[in-house]
Amino acid sequence: MTFGYSRDDAEGKFLLRYVEDKVLPENPFQVLDREGVGQLVKLAVTEGRKTRPDLEIGICGEHGGDPSSIEFCHNNGLNYVSCSPYRVPVARLAAAQAALGAVTRDK
């Protein structure tokens, strides 16, 4: 819990206002925050694989269907992403683009 609030509490009460007012650039429950959470992910991948090189690492949830988050995961050595069924087509396309190096959006 990097930001310290639950999705149920935040999205129903204040989070969307934070995004509208630019307190947060995007909904952190949908798009992976590369500067904060991303650094924790990188650390987990690096340190985890020092101990166990074959460690399978992935994410699940809304981030797993977001093209920017998928690109970040690919570029940082995660093995998989998982998302809800309705986001699978976009996730598959984004994963293919990341694998080909075609995604250039940087967060």
| pTM confidence score | 0.84
Q: Which pLDDT value is given to residue 106?
A: 46
Residue 17 identity:
R
Q: Provide the CB-side half-sphere exposure for 29 (13 A, CA).
A: 13
pLDDT in tens, the chain (107 residues): 788 888 888 988 999 999 999 999 999 989 999 999 999 999 999 999 999 999 999 999 889 999 999 999 999 999 999 999 999 999 999 999 999 985 454 44
C-alpha span between 67 and 4 (Å, rounded): 25
